[in-house]
Chains A and B, each alone.
Chain A
Amino acid sequence: MARETRADGRLDWSISMARAQAGDRDAYRRLLDAITPYLRALAARRLGNRSDVEDAVQDILLTIHTVRHTYDPARPFGPWLVAISDRRIVDRLRQQGRFNAHETPLEAAHETLSVSETNLQEEAADARMLRDAVEHLPAGQRDAIRMLKLEELSLLEASAASGMSATSLKVATHRALKKLREMIKNQEA
């Protein structure tokens, strides 16, 4: 009987298949294990989706099993294998085409809906602009705005934390808001 490995030490698929046709289960398992990565590469070249690739590989293996009697060991194994796998990959592509015809991919642009929670991206941009503007305020006004508006402390807590009187905090906040309004208006213009 012919040796199953070739001169370079790799499995000779043609001889393995011939043995599998005769009912040699070990040769059949070695063959299927050896061709699976090859089939996966063939499928991955045409199909993008990973689970589709795996489905295609399993489809090809099943087809090989059903038509294994059509292989003639006198002919090369490669074209036989590729013809079968092309069939199954094309099937899978057609199926993908049919499936995708009814689907619309969800993109960022589709999320701008009337509900405010869906427009988080715009809110994030607004928040960044405000934070930048706060950074440019004079130190006293900046602290007042941070404590009273951003951290939402009460006047008493804020005056205890900063050592400023309640009245001067109120004045600073008032001036800061006025200034912020101007800065943002300038930026938008």
Chain B
Amino acid sequence: MTSTSDVIDSLVADAKPVRRLQPPALRALCWLMFAALMLVLVAVGHGVRPDLMLKLHQPDFATSVVAALTTGVLAAMASFIASVPGRSRRWLLLPAPALALWISTIGYGCLTGWVSIGPEGLSLGETARCFATLAITGIPMSLAMLIMLRYVARLSPTPVAMTGSLAVAAMTAAALSLFHPLDATVMILFWNFGVTALFLVLSGLYGKRLLEWVAR
């Protein structure tokens, strides 16, 4: 066993100058700008849903999109702030109100919209394109988050990874409802909850290992 003073000696010998982290709010802003860029790129490449302007005038749709975007913004802020050692863990609760609003709008739409499920529903092609949007927006956002938060691997990876992935999921879900004509409420429910659950489960299971792998 090496003695503690030997450990200190080797650490001091390795003490190269390091660049301090920017303030967490600024780093969250950078990530959000990157996320926004992804959304704009998809919007340019894929085009928004044809009835977007019409839908945005419907209060429940607008509330749901705004709530999802707010959840994304707050969750990103929360994970960047809480990832710094010594900052309060309560920051992780920051997105909770927006998340509650977002979930309740989905649930409300679901309760009032049963009759709107028509026989024609969604075609398979639309579902496949939804998956494409999901991958195109979700994967780069997750990678950026992983790289920016890699130091948290040796601290408390799981809660931070889960909040970070909530941010990714919320942004992706907002993108899906902006770009795809998902009118069947069951499909909206599926996409919103499904995407969130997918990211949360993956980050809960693999967040720690992924962060450790990126931090190497």
A interface, CB within 8 angstroms of B? 20-25, 28-29, 32-33, 36, 51, 54-55, 57-58, 61-63, 65-73, 75-76, 78-84, 87
Quick one: closest B residue to A57, CB to CB? B4
Q: Give A69 to B21 CA distance when docked, in angstroms.
A: 6
Known: A69-B21, A83-B86. A20 touches B15 (CB 8 A): yes
Q: Is the CB of A32 within 8 A of B85?
A: no
Is residue B44 within 8 Å, beta carbon to beta carbon, of the partner chain?
no
> With A29-B8, A65-B14 given, can you name 6 additional A-B contacts, CB distance below 8 Å?
A28-B11, A61-B7, A61-B11, A70-B85, A71-B20, A83-B87
Cβ contact within 8 Å between B18 and A72: no
Tell me the chain B residues, 5-49 only, with Cβ under 8 Å from chain A.
Answer: 7-8, 11-21, 23
Q: A66 near B12 (CB under 8 angstroms)?
A: no
Contact of A70 among B8, B11, B84 (CB under 8 A): B84
Chain A contact residues: helix, strand, loop or mixed? helix
Bound: A33/B21 CA distance, A: 25
B155 (CB) vs chain A CBs: closest residue? A87
**12 A–B contact pairs at CB < 8 A?**
A32-B12, A36-B8, A62-B7, A62-B11, A63-B155, A70-B84, A70-B85, A72-B21, A76-B86, A79-B86, A83-B85, A87-B156
Residue contact A25 to B20, C-beta cutoff 8 Å: no
Cα distance, A149 to B16, chains bound together (Å): 79
Q: With A21-B18, A23-B16, A83-B86 in contact, do A66 and B4 touch (Cβ < 8 Å)?
A: no
In chain A, what residue has the closest Cβ to B215? A66
Q: Name the residue on A nearest B6 (C-beta).
A: A58
B151 on interface, CB distance cutoff 8 Å: yes
In the complex, chain A residues whose CB is within 8 Å of the CB of B13? 25
User: Cα distance A58–B2 when bound, in Å?
Assistant: 9
Choose among B7, B15, B86, B155 the residue that contacts A25 (Cβ–Cβ < 8 A).
Answer: B15
Contact of B17 among A21, A61, A67, A83 (CB under 8 A): A21
Interface centre among B13, B19, B86, B151 (most CB of A within 10 A): B86
> Which chain B residues border A87 with CB–CB below 8 Å?
85, 154-156
